[in-house]
Amino acid sequence: MRKLLESTAQRAIAYLEGIGDRSVAPSAEAVANLARLDEPFNDAPTSADQVIKMLDENCSPATTAMAGPRFFGFVIGGSLPVTVAANWLAGAWDQNSGLFTPTPATASLEQVALNWLLDLFNLPSDCGGGFVTGATMANFTALAAARRALLKRASWNVEADGLFGAPPITVVVGEEAHPTLFKSLGLLGLGRNRVVRVPVDSQGRMRADALPTLSGLTMLCVQAGNVNTGAFDPFPEICARAHEAGAWVHVDGAFGLWAAATASTSHLVAGLCDADSWATDCHKWLNVPYDSGIALVRDGEALRAAMAITADYLPTSEFRNPSDFTPELSRRARGVEVWAALRSLGRQGVSELVERNCRQARRFAEGLQTAGFKVLNDVVLNQVLVTFGDAETTNRVISEIQREGTCWCGGTVWQEQTAMRISVSSWATTDADVERSLEAMIRIAGR
């Protein structure tokens, strides 16, 4: 076992050490070679060494260098080395971290990490929190608590009796809400289409003047950080009106919630602490390994009531049972990496990370504008939307940038304009990486 684990660690280290020097996208040849693994299921066992060798030799070259410094394709981070290491250790522990009693170490770390996150985001220290797979499930989990609390007001127990015959809930969302929010609403039986959509402005922000009159059982879903522009809904106006009407305000802050971590962007989240629930990701700006999302709910009892189960064979505890706050029972110990990232960076390190990535995004925008290209968004956070001309030209430039391999950016259509998205959220991105990527983008677009 020692030899296997040591040699695997060496392979992983070599992968990470080489990641800055390789093409960000895998070569077509490397992707084609994956077919080597598509073989009939073997009858005889294969040695562990051989299995790891097959993985490394066939799959490492076919990965996209998302852990590297010049992947700007989605709002995702790399993994801080301390979190990769913590992930290895937690993997060795193999704790099924749903219950405190059998897994006190990982359950305790999760509690500490939760306390620190609430502190970092300036949210009430007694919020309930669930460590889930990502923001999709964090939205789902928080909105399950919202559904529970709203229907309880109407004396309806949704967990026990379901939604058939339940009093209706009005769901209000911005026109530019993330598609996964609609998926979460669908999973909750609230419907992907059965929503009131509030018009947005040129940055994708909900227009407070277009908010409908709110009444009855209502969930208002606002957004902290639009996936294309990075824009924030105007929380102070919207939340005040929603609360006057007794609505539940939920914040999809998959990456935008992290704006609270540093002084230069904290104004963007002003008023957000008045909401009732929040969803965010740690596998985005905190730069921990996948998968790692967090659901936070002011009324922790509503979250527990929506998620907790009991069974005679499951031990109860006076301490926090992680699975009382999540859809899953058996689960990996996500809190370990979150704890490790926060403990390693400290408040200053998180602030510096967010600050640096935002500065780097502004530098991308400035460099592209100086080169004559049009930036479509106000760069308030870490997102840049740039167009290189008409849709065909922009798509061609995006494909060539991906093929050339210095960096990786994806495309989008923003309010009918085809654009390239640049998301800067990795701990590994240096200012030199930004300059190198800018040079490649401008050179390719100028051809």
Contact residues toward ligand PLP (CB under 6 A) are 75, 134-136, 178, 180, 223, 225, 227, 252, 254-255, 281, 293
Q: Which is nearer to ligand PLP, 227 or 247 (CB)?
A: 227
Output DSSP code: residue 408.
B
Q: Which is nearer to ligand PLP, 99 or 188 (CB)?
A: 188
- Closest-approach residue to ligand PLP (CB): 134
Whole-number minimum distance, CB 192 to ligand PLP, in Å?
Answer: 14
Output DSSP code: residue 162.
-
Q: Is the dihedral of CA 277, 283, 287, 290 positive or negative?
A: positive
Q: Which is nearer to ligand PLP, 227 or 336 (CB)?
A: 227
Whole-number minimum distance, CB 134 to ligand PLP, in Å?
Answer: 3
Cα–Cα dist 215/196, whole Å: 13
Q: Which of 340, 368, 375 is nearest to 435 (CA)?
A: 368
Helix, strand, coil content of the chain in percent (nearest 5): 45, 15, 40
The interaxial angle of helices 81-93 and 334-370, nearest 10 deg, is 150
| 417-423 vs 383-387, strand pairing mode | antiparallel
Q: Which is nearer to ligand PLP, 70 or 178 (CB)?
A: 178
Q: Which is nearer to ligand PLP, 180 or 262 (CB)?
A: 180
Work out the end-to-end distance of the chain between its first and last CA atoms, rounded to an integer number of angstroms. 53
Output DSSP code: residue 401.
H
Q: Which is nearer to ligand PLP, 248 or 255 (CB)?
A: 255
Q: Which is nearer to ligand PLP, 114 or 217 (CB)?
A: 114
Whole-number minimum distance, CB 180 to ligand PLP, in Å?
Answer: 4
Q: What angle do CA 308, 112, 130 make, to 5 degrees?
A: 30
Whole-number minimum distance, CB 17 to ligand PLP, in Å?
Answer: 27
Spatial contact of 70 and 433, defined as CB atoms under 8 Å apart? yes
Q: Which is nearer to ligand PLP, 254 or 340 (CB)?
A: 254
Whole-number minimum distance, CB 75 to ligand PLP, in Å?
Answer: 5
Whole-number minimum distance, CB 225 to ligand PLP, in Å?
Answer: 6
Instruction: Kindly list the distances between the CA atom of residue 144 and the CA atoms of 141, 202, 220, 255, in Å, as whole numbers in the listed order.
Output: 5, 31, 13, 21
Whole-number minimum distance, CB 138 to ligand PLP, in Å?
Answer: 7
Cα–Cα dist 401/368, whole Å: 14
Q: Which is nearer to ligand PLP, 257 or 305 (CB)?
A: 257
Beta strand spans in 86-236 (E)? 128-132, 170-174, 196-198, 218-223
Cα–Cα dist 292/47, whole Å: 32
Q: Which of 93, 63, 61, 67 is nearest to 80 (CA)?
A: 67
| Max CA pair span of the chain | 69
Whole-number minimum distance, CB 28 to ligand PLP, in Å?
Answer: 27
Whole-number minimum distance, CB 293 to ligand PLP, in Å?
Answer: 5
Instruction: Kindly list the distances between the CA atom of residue 209 and the CA atoms of 42, 246, 250, in Å, as whole numbers in the listed order.
Output: 64, 19, 19
Q: Which is nearer to ligand PLP, 116 or 258 (CB)?
A: 258
| Token pair belonging to 75 | 């709002």
Whole-number minimum distance, CB 346 to ligand PLP, in Å?
Answer: 24
Q: Which of 105, 102, 111, 108 is nearest to 315 (CA)?
A: 102
Output DSSP code: residue 354.
H
Whole-number minimum distance, CB 227 to ligand PLP, in Å?
Answer: 4
Spatial contact of 341 and 82, defined as CB atoms under 8 Å apart? yes
Beta strand spans in 52-127 (E)? none
Q: Which is nearer to ligand PLP, 178 or 298 (CB)?
A: 178
